[in-house]
Amino acid sequence: MMKRASRVKMVAGAALLLLVAIAISVPSVAVAQPKGEPFVIGYIGMVGSPGTRPCMDIQKMAVEEINAAGGILGRPVKYVVMDNKGDTSLSVEAFRKLVIEDKAKFISVEGRTEVCLAVQEASGMLFKEYPHILIFNGPMGAELTARIIDEAPKYNHCFRDWDPEPAHYAQTKYFFCKTMPQYQKTKRIAFLWEDLAWTTEWRKGISYINLPTWEKLAEDCGLEVVYSKAVKPRGTMYLPILQDIKKANADVIFFISSWFTDTESFAKQWSDSAARDIQVNLYGGVAQTQDYWKMTGGKALGVISSYTDLDDIPLTPKTIPLVKKAHARKIPMQIHVHIAYADIYHFKAAIERAKGTGNIKSLIKAMEDVETVYSLGKMKYETRKIKPFYHSRVRVDAANPWKTYPGYYLQLIVQFQKDGKVAFLHESCEENEKLVAKWVDHKRYRTPAELRK
């Protein structure tokens, strides 16, 4: 044993000397420091929000990476955050400061449609004097991009890094027609809606492109809608609602939630309610991260959610490296955080294509033309003038919202199981030489009651 240990030490020592020799013999390549007037990028959002703060943190990280690699066209990037404290009027004032005083050329706004609309109006009034690109980080409100066509050219400089409400019909039909009845054995569905503008079209239907309400979509798939209620994003007392859902004899609670919804409070109340054996499917929000388990104190046992905190699922070559860097900075990786990071590199590609920001028409055209790859798929903006898809991130065929485009966003679905283990009900796989996400490995699914046993 002593001789073996000596050999191991000798081999390790030789390897160390070899590495030192290599390090000495190969000169490091110096990266030229960016110089000159910086490109200014701004973000308007609520610093104290668990939904928007990670977007700011991840964009700051991206800017630091770009500057460390020599900047954009040899110039540095300056990143400025403006705290709107969740207030619409403060958001407008923040925008005015960014565009007038800071001379920002790219400005992102947090993903509440109401806030984005107010900033967009201010942006339209100031654009001629202060040319810039306005990005909506995460909202779905159709009016944000519909007005780009209706009021052209006033808002031609606006882009949405998300997909609008109609783009979500294809996946939702799959949930209602296959996932819920076949794999979860659902017959009766209860809807909870986050009561913000982004859920309005799903509740009312989208008549101008002949898309039904989601309740009608569920019924067309053979489900019985036994309950439906819009709830405030924060401060809702869920126990009476859950009691009513239990009385309605629902099999599943489909909560159309976002990062503004206090789904952590919902899970705590659900697990202690009469409805605790009813399956919960969350649409989005902080449940997309591993932190959700801790936030609920383990009360999320059995909850199903979309999930983007992927540290071992390589949807693209960028997935795992980005998530590891984000985790090192304690940044939770919800989907809009992935996209916020991707935005910075899309801006970089557009600036390089336009050879700077001096010609705003060229910059807008570059934003339309470039396609980048980010951690969850491909990033490209719709250029066909079809409402409300125009200047929104591509996900489905704008002329046929029931048809998805593989590779543009791979959504994985998970269930929180024993000790916070995340069970992937979705699988990523190769299909026709393309990476796609397929629902569902139903053998991994367990009912909440089974998991508690």
Does the pLDDT at position 11 exceed 70? no
Name which residue leads in pLDDT, 442 or 40.
40
The first and second tokens of residue 192, run together, are 């909870």
Does the pLDDT at position 26 exceed 50? no
- Strands 224-231, 158-160: pairing is unpaired
Given this model, what pLDDT does residue 29 score?
Answer: 55
pTM over 0.85: yes
Percentage of residues in the chain having pLDDT higher than 90: 76
- Tokens 């409070």 correspond to 265
> Long-range contacts of range 81-85, CB-CB < 8 Å, 24 or more positions apart?
81/42, 81/43, 81/45, 81/47, 81/56, 82/42, 82/43, 82/44, 82/45, 83/45, 83/46, 83/47, 83/48, 84/44, 84/45, 84/46, 84/110, 84/115, 85/46, 85/47, 85/48
Given this model, what pLDDT does residue 412 score?
Answer: 85
Which domains occur in the chain, in start order? 39-137+318-375 (3.40.50.2300), 166-308+407-452 (3.40.50.2300)
Given this model, what pLDDT does residue 4 score?
Answer: 32
